[in-house]
Structure formats: structure tokens, C-alpha cells
Amino acid sequence: MSDFATTLKQIRLGKGMSQEEFAAFLGTSKQNISRYESGEVSPKISTAAKIADKLGITIAQLNGDNSPAASASDDDAWTLRENERDDPDRKALFMLSKYGSAKDIRQAAALIDALRATNPDFYDGDDPA
């Protein structure tokens, strides 16, 4: 059984929920919860991110990593995403970094800044289409 399967089941049992109740809470089917918990299938990363968000934990924690470093870096990534999301010139960055790590977001932001520095017309905030 995968760390994801074990962790998901532990969380469900900790909440005192049946698979059906947990599925309703997460917005999925009982069959999906059963297959996830048995390790029969693993969710796509986007689905895992939605599950982690709904549970109020990080993807790393959902996959069994409870180290303080994993939580801190994910919290940092969340803060960076929120800052980038509010900057209209970096909307594309937000869309690309929605599930990225803090390091990924910083690297993408630095790349955009470098492109702007060498070519002021690189992106002016208007729709290029």
C-alpha cells in the first residue's frame, strides 16, 4: 500500500467517516475512495492537490511526508502563489505555478524578470492575442 493510500485512510478514519461520507466531503465517489485507499489507483496530481486543499494539508503531507521542511516550503509556495496571483502582469505565472514548489515559482518569476530586463516589450500585461 502506498503512503498516499495509508495517509488517506488514516485521515478518513481520524474524521470518523465512512468511505461514502468521506467521498461526499471530498466531492468524489465512494468507488474512488475505495480504490485510492486500497492502492489500486493513484489520483492525478491535480486531483491529489484538490484533495489536499480540501483537507487543509499539503500534497507532501498527503503522501506521508510530515516533516516540518515539507510543510514550511509548501506554506512558502502558497504565499508566493497568492502574491503572484494578485499581480496582473504575472497572471500567467500564477497559472503555471498553481501546484509548483516555492523554488519553481521563484525560478519562473526570476526568468520573467530577466526577460523583462532585456526586452521591455516582452510582456506588457495586455492579452498578446
Cell 509548501 locates to: 74
pLDDT value for 127: 47
Q: Amino acid identity of 90?
A: R
Q: What pTM does this model have?
A: 0.53
Contacts 24+ apart (CB under 8 A), 108-111: 109/80, 109/84
Would you write out the chain's pLDDT as a tens digit for each of its 129 residues? 678 899 999 999 999 999 999 999 999 999 999 999 999 998 888 888 889 888 888 888 888 876 655 554 555 665 666 666 666 666 666 566 565 667 767 777 777 777 777 776 655 555 444
Burial label for 2, CB within 10 Å (0-12, 13-18, 19+), is: middle
Closest to 12 (Cα-Cα) out of 44, 57, 75: 57
Contact, 33 vs 23, CB < 8 A?
yes
The whole-angstrom separation of Cα 101 and Cα 76 is 8
First to last CA, the chain: 48
DSSP-assigned states of every residue in 78-112:
HHHHHHHHT-GGGHHHHHHHTT--HHHHHHHHHHH
Cell of 39: 492502492
